[in-house]
Amino acid sequence: MAPPEALSGDGAFTVRRHQPELVSPAKPTPRELKPLSDIDDQDGLRFQIPFMHFYSHKASMKGKDPAQVIKKALSEALVFYYPFAGRLREGDGRKLMVDCNGEGVMFTEADADISLHQFGDTLQPPFPYFDELLYNVPGSQGVLNCPLLIIQVTRLQCGGFILAYRLNHTMSDGPGIVQFLNAVVEIAGGAREPSVAPVWRRELLSARDPPQITCTHREYEQIPSNYDPIWTQESIAHHSFFFGPKELEAIRQMFSSYNNGQYTTRFEALTAFLWRCRTKALQLEPSQEVRFMCISNVRGKSNPPVLPLGYYGNGFVYPAAVTTAGKLCENPFGYALELVKKAKAEATVEYMQSVADFMVTKGRPCFVMPGTWIVSDTSRLGFRGVDFGWGKAVYGGPATAGAGPFPGASYYAACENAKGEEGIVVPFYLPLSAMKRFIHELDRVLGQLEQLTSFSDSLASLS
């Protein structure tokens, strides 16, 4: 192995990074071409999505090196998940397939002279020193002919460590990557094989022959690509907002008079609340069309299930609710709630099959970006529960707002604040002026509910 290379992190600390290396399966694996599903290889998933897990020092693990523990278990887990060690190729009709060549995933180990507490009382995106904690290995950024996983383990001065990684999103969704990480965890703990056997079966979500588009897919409507009223030349702010149990219940109760006797989940209430506040902060023209897309997984939504236990491909769709900025902002909050519920309800197995047929028929297009806010709730997927022996992660989940090159997205992640309260953290990318108005709008509405969290202190960090 090459000697460590010193890197500075804004002068605040130093990272000593070893030469990146490829970690291959510990045993020979099949050499084959495995097509992705027609849900996997749509244009909107052709990017690498970053995640981070922060772990505290644990006295009982003294003398054990997390980088070596994870690297060894990773190599053994890749025997079962060998497609991750391959490379994507593109065939006719933009069809993606994995060349299972065993080349390996990219792995970097590093040491940083910084302690976990120096990252702040509440760990949430955006994370400081992100570029030092997940090294962008030259030539690794692409979708085709590049590693499908890029991993860095950084040991901290306090005895804790950070696991950061980028996943080629065409390979897996949130449940899929958590399943893979738990396989690494089990093998690190001494298991010979994962307790949940991985299932490829991507043909289950491939287009029918002939394709039959049976649903309306407004998430893929074609609108002028040069028209986007949200993302301007103004500087962009990246900020996260923590909602604890008190805030989440108060927001849900705020919608109780709008639910028409139906139960409203905390996700539905929080999402409707934030979508309306976000749209008001953007100050769009009243006639401007806006979209909300709800990432909805179809796992467990049919009997028998369409996706078997162990399936680790992408198993979600994102139906769109469409309205105008004027209608969304001028109507009561119940209007936004109705649209959120409607979008969620559209995510059926038939809808997913129709999306697969749509992809093949229309050339695998990207979703609509102008005027769009996409939400993915990862808070219940178990990212924080990934335990390599050092305990539950202090934070585990997506590392940023935005979906790769698409800034109009938010990932809900499970989080614990400085008071020890368990809640949800929601990151946003917004133009700076809109972010300031967004904070004011959150405080205005929450202030009318009860004495809840104020986000006004966030304004100082944006100036």
User: 278-308 pLDDT, tens per residue?
Assistant: 999 999 999 999 999 999 999 978 777 899 9
Out of 8-17, 43-52, 91-100, 373-382, pick the least confident: 8-17
Cα separation, 67 vs 150, in Å, equals 14
* Predicted confidence (pLDDT) per residue in 42-92, tens digit: 999 999 999 999 999 999 999 999 999 999 999 999 999 999 999 999 999
Cα separation, 333 vs 328, in Å, equals 8
Q: Is the peptide bond before 66 cis (omega within 30 degrees of 0)?
A: no
pLDDT at residue 149, as a whole number: 98
CA distances from 226 to 222, 223, 240, 432 (A): 12, 9, 28, 21
* Predicted confidence (pLDDT) per residue in 437-460, tens digit: 999 999 999 888 766 667 777 776
* Right CATH for 218-462 from 3.30.413.10, 1.10.3720.10, 3.10.20.30, 3.30.559.10: 3.30.559.10
> Could you tell me the pTM of the whole model?
0.94
pLDDT at residue 226, as a whole number: 54
Say whether pLDDT at 381 is over 80.
yes
* Predicted confidence (pLDDT) per residue in 184-213, tens digit: 999 999 999 999 999 999 999 999 999 999
3-class SS of residue 267: helix
Say whether pLDDT at 419 is over 70.
yes
Domain spans of the chain, in order of start: 5-199, 218-462
With CA atoms as reference, report the closest residue to 407 among 444, 437, 379, 435: 435
With CA atoms as reference, report the closest residue to 107 among 3, 17, 16, 175: 17
Cα separation, 306 vs 302, in Å, equals 6
pLDDT at residue 400, as a whole number: 85
Would you please indicate which residues are annotated as catalytic (active-site) residues?
169, 387
CATH superfamily of 5-199: Chloramphenicol acetyltransferase-like domain (3.30.559.10)
Going by pLDDT thresholds of 50, 70 and 90, the confidence category of residue 395 is very high
pLDDT at residue 228, as a whole number: 62
3-class SS of residue 457: coil
